[in-house]
Structure 1
Amino acid sequence: MWEETSPRKRREDEHSIQSKEPTATNLQKEVGLLSGICIIVGSIIGSGIFISPKSVLSNTGTVGPCLIIWAACGILATLGALCFAELGTMITKSGGEYPYLMEAFGPIPAYLFSWVSMMVTKPSSFAIICLSFSEYVCAAFYSGCEPPEVVIKCLAAAAILLIITVNALSVRLGRYVQNFFTAAKMVIVAIIIISGVVLLAQGNTRNFENSFAATPASVGGISLAFYNGLWAYDGWNQLNYITEELRNPYRNLPLAIIIGIPLVTVCYILMNVSYFAVMTPTELLQSQAVAVTFGDRVLYPASWIVPLFVAFSTIGAANGNCFTVGRLIYVAGREGHMLKVLSYVSVRRLTPAPAIIFYGIITTIYIIPGDINSLVNYFSFASWLFYGMTIVGLVVMRFTKKNRERPIKVPIFIPILVTLISVFLVLAPIISNPAWEYLYCVLFILSGLIFYFLFVYCKFGWAQKISKPVTMYLQMLMEVVPPEKVPE
């Protein structure tokens, strides 16, 4: 009797019970509310608000409309994110727009989204962020002269390698890195805002006089101003890419959106107010890096703080980008739209390591060419094309999937309004400034149908013969296995 209840026996019984519990090799729910807010804020606040608010000003002309555009972009990002919150709590799968397009319209639109995102928009954006980080770091070592381009690119490639290594090793480590850099970037945001408030209190308000006294901006100018502003807000939907790893997504997904995006909007408006408290519109347009100019005038001799924290901000945005987009590639591979090995999970780390490594390789390729900003400019309309399609899918599923449980249900006028704005953002720059590059972008998007037909729809025998041994070799090399269960 006493032997059966001895401490040793109890430990053996507990171990036996634990050993019978299923331990699925799958992505783990390790992202809480705070980390969710940090992912949103950290992904949105990158280098844009520190370097080039002048893009919005140049298209609006004066201070008043410029601030209105920044506020309107924040409102639009919030409305779009609320639509995504309904989708994310109705379809609790990672991958952002991908599973929503799959549910609403079928595999072809979802595949085209993953094709464009993985081959152009996401890796090129990741590359630009890492190049911005590299430029700021190199500037500290090449004072008074331009750093060599090869040094900038090598450092950017090293940053990519470091970020994908962190995210492939551990979800928890990636989350801690994100939280740290988000806190660091909020320090410099607070410094700029507090400095601006102090200057305004001292009477530096002359740049806000007659802030609407100018020729009204054209429709094309307004659309370009929105594009530039929304580029700084890009990342408002990042939490939907990791829904499967979010604890209590029905609560934390909408709550993180409601807290995170308005917080960023308020910060952006107040930071622009601070810039105008120090610089005239003409001086701001002439500045190469607005936050650096601000620091030189206000924080001297501690102006070195600005480039240091801007570097922190960019590396944090890059980490958030990698953390979320890796899940898009993982889900696309799980659906059979990419190599199957991209949907495998590390046995030891429980991370989508193959998807993250693949993303890092594609991004590194984008580091090689001289200028990729123009590529992003022409493909930015594609981002809003898919945003609009996804939100149209929300409206469609209100009728086609009426009985689907919706823990969050936004008023129908919100997705309709966001859809109309998306149509405007897609068509306005093309109509106001038509260029062959837009046609090339459309042709590239449609070229994804060729790969879909060859490798997904038809599944030719020769394609299977090529991919099967590659998958087996990579599986053994990286110690990864297919996920044991797929969330419903």
Structure 2
Amino acid sequence: MTIKSIEPQPTLLKSTLSVTDATAIIVGMVVGAGIFETPALVAANAGSAGMALSIWVLGGAMSLVGALCYAELASAFPDAGGSYHYFMRAYGPNLAFLFAWARMAVIQTGSIALLAFIFGDYAAQLLPLGSYSSFFYAMLSIVVLTGLNFTGVEQGKWTQNLLTLAKVLGLLLVIVAGLAATTTAAPAPTEPASQGSFGLAMLFVLLTYGGWNEAAHLSAEIRHVQRNMSKALLWSIGIIVSIYLLINLAYLQGLGLAGMAGSEAVAADLMRQVAGEGGAKFISFLIAVSALGATNATIFTGARTNYALGRDFPAFALLGRWNNRANVPANALLVQGAIALALVLLGALTRKGFETMVDYTAPVFWFFFLLSGIALFVLRWREPEAPRPFRVPLFPLVPLLFCSVCLYLLYSSLVFTGLGALVGVAVLAIGVPILWLMRKRVQP
């Protein structure tokens, strides 16, 4: 049974984002703190330097496969709701509502809290304010960045552009420092374990590449979206793969594979070797900036789905009000910020904020990501006459590969995560009785 009285409403937003703006948002979303943490884990499971670099290339190729699928969906059906809009057209309002609920209560807000904890941890190292420094900085980052995006889309996008520029320039400095270094100065290496896990290494790499799909939520605001969406996605993936390969080459040159595998903070160890404690301080600052940029991009895109939820479901109508003066979903931003602050509080209470948020978000995220790939097949069948300025090449092989990757990561996120995963699934399940109550209200 479906809510027959609810139909997706058209989105009349201003197209203010260029390819450069969209690319900056996507790069800012993806290139977060993960690239400073996961290379050591990949090296420990790769077995050789060549294999480690190959895994990063393969991760980029898999991300490209997903980007090709999203380029077709976003250019054919541009809407601020992104995947929510595809679910509405492919599966109907029930599943679309559950996705929007999950994104508001689990996926996006959990990601915001996760990134805020990373920023808080490194900001506290640079400027400690006492026992609760990390918690304070995490809360502060959400409040300030939500406020900036609330004031207007121009403030939000220029904040993102500047943070992404600072991040990329900082990464380039790390790359240059690492490539100029020699492994002879590195700590005495011990060979990594020969029994590495390729599958586990791929899991770390694909998690580090995650976030490019957020471009779908910008589709209603990108100028000439039919031709520019695919450009933004392909440029973004190209830039991200280049950055990831270069920085891994820098790590390998400066520390060697064994040095990477044995490091608990690979970027800080590299910069400490090259430039002493000043270099380690610099990398802490860089990681804080990276996390801040990713937080801002997540806030920017996340509120768009909440807006689409309020636009289509009367019970959440408060979220569906667009501030035309600032050109932002003002109420959706405020509600998103409040939920993210509550999750930061939850993470602070567990004393394992980052790990708790990873567990909380992963299974729900990959479940709906898989459904996004399946939606491509459904919409090809249900709406064959819809204009598709960009079509996935080698259909159906490419989207089938994308769905297979999503299925593998869904399995991994359930197997390798802890109690937080059950909490995230439980919060998703709360959406079912909410949906039932709304459905009951609209029935005669």
Corresponding residue of 1:385 = 367
- Give the deviation of 1:374 after TM superposition: 3.3
Question: Structure 1 residue 215 and structure 2 residue 198: aligned?
Answer: no
**Residue matched to 2:52:** 66
- Report the residue type matching 2:428 in the other structure: I
The SS at the match of 1:279 is: helix
Q: In the alignment, which of 14, 33, 44 is matched to residue 19 of structure 2?
A: 33
AA paired with 2:30? Answer: I
Q: Following TM superposition, by how much is the alpha carbon of 1:407 offset from its aligned partner in structure 2, in angstroms?
A: 0.4
Q: Which runs of 5+ in 1 are unaligned?
A: 1-23, 462-488
* Matched residue, 1:4: none
* Separation in 1, partners of 2:360, 2:145: 27
1:415, distance to aligned residue in structure 2 (A): 0.6
Q: Which residue of 2 aligns with 1:249?
A: 225
CA distance in 1, matches of 2:261, 2:303: 36
- Using the alignment, how far apart are the partners of 1:348 and 1:128 within structure 2? 31
Match of 2:6 in 1: none
1:151: Cα distance to partner?
2.1
CA distance in 2, matches of 1:375, 1:320: 18
Please identify, of 166-175 and 395-404, the stretch whose mean Cα deviation from structure 2 is larger: 395-404
Equivalent residue number for residue 300 of structure 2:
323
Output the amino acid matched with 2:432: L
Q: Find the aligned partners of 1:262 and 1:206 in 2 and give their Cα distance.
A: 33
* 1:309 Cα deviation after fit: 2.3
Q: 1:288 to 1:25 in 2, by over 3 A?
A: same
Aligned to 1:421: 405
Match of 1:240 among 195, 216, 219: 216
Q: Alpha-carbon deviation of 1:306?
A: 2.1
AA in 2 matched with 1:423: L
1:139-194 CA distances to partner (integer Å, 9 max, x unpaired)?
1234xxxx644222112111111100110101011111111111101111111222
Identify the residue that residue 265 of structure 2 maps to in structure 1: 289
2:282 aligned partner = 305
Aligned-residue offset at 1:206:
12
- Paired with 1:293 and 1:177, the residues of 2 have a C-alpha distance of 30
The change in CA–CA distance for 1:141 and 1:203 in structure 2 (over 3 A counts) is closer
Aligned equivalent of 1:348, options 322, 325, 332: 325
CA displacement at 1:61 relative to structure 2: 4.7
Q: Aligned to 1:264, which of 237, 240, 253?
A: 240
* Match of residue 399, structure 1, among 355, 377, 381: 381
- Could you list the runs of 5+ residues in structure 2 that have no partner in the other structure? 1-9
Aligned to 2:148: 166
Whole-Å Cα distance in 2 between the matches of residues 385 and 193 of structure 1?
35
- Pairing 1:357-376 to 2, within 5 Å after superposition: 357-369=334-346, 370-372=351-353, 373-376=355-358
Amino acid at match of 1:215: Q
1:208 Cα shift?
11
Worse-matched range after superposition: 228-237 or 40-49? 228-237
| Aligned: 1:450 with 2:426 | no
Deviations, residues 208-261 of structure 1 (Å, cap 9, x unaligned)? 9999x93352xxxx4433332222212111111121111111122110111111
Q: State how far apart, in whole Å, the 1-side matches of 2:314 and 2:160 are.
A: 29
Shift of 1:387: 1.3
1:289-340 deviations in whole A, cap 9, x for unaligned? 3222211111336513322222222111111111101101111111117610
| Structure-2 separation of matches of 1:29 and 1:334 | 19
RMSD: 2.9
2:120 alignment counterpart: 134
Does the CA-based 8 Å contact 1:207-1:276 persist in structure 2? no
Tell me, in whole angstroms, the C-alpha distance in 2 between the residues paired with 1:447 and 1:429.
Answer: 20
Distance 2:417 2:332 in 1: 36
More helix by share: 2
Mapped to 1, the partners of 2:71 and 2:162 lie a distance apart of 25
Deviations 1:240-283 (A, max 9, x none): 11211111111221101111112111211221121122224444
Q: Could you say which residue in structure 1 is the equivalent of 2:5?
A: none
- What residue in structure 1 maps to residue 32 of structure 2? 46
Deviation of the 1:390 alpha carbon:
0.9
Aligned match of 2:3: none
Deviates more, 1:178-187 or 1:442-451: 442-451
The match for 2:83 among 83, 88, 97 is 97
Q: Give the partner amino acid of 2:294.
A: A
Instruction: Give the Cα–Cα distance (whole angstroms) in 1 for the partners of residues 274 and 46 of structure 2.
Output: 26
**Which amino acid counterpart does residue 164 of structure 1 have in structure 2?**
T
Identity rate of aligned residues, in percent?
27
Given the superposition, is the C-alpha separation of residues 223 and 335 from structure 1 closer, same or farther in structure 2, using an over 3 Å criterion?
farther
Q: Figure out how many residues of one structure are paired with residues of the other and give that number.
A: 426
C-alpha contact 1:114 1:328 (8 A) present in aligned 2 = yes
Contact kept in structure 1, 2:22 and 2:215, CA below 8 Å: yes
Q: In structure 2, do the counterparts of structure 1 residues 166 and 441 end up closer, same or farther at CA, with 3 Å as the change threshold?
A: closer
Which moved further from structure 2: 246-255 or 274-283?
274-283
Please say if 1:231 is aligned against 2:207. yes
1:341, distance to aligned residue in structure 2 (A):
1.1
Summarize the alignment of residues 114-133 of structure 1 with structure 2, pairs less than 5 Å apart. 114-133=100-119
TM-score, normalization: structure 1?
0.80
Letter of the structure 2 residue corresponding to residue 351 of structure 1: V
Q: Once the 2 structures are TM-superposed, how far is the Cα of residue 56 of structure 1 from its aligned partner?
A: 2.6
- 1:472 match: none
Query: For the Cα contact (< 8 Å) 1:169–1:349, is it kept in 2?
Result: yes
Report the TM-score, using the length of structure 2 for normalisation: 0.88
Highest CA radius of gyration, 1 or 2? 1
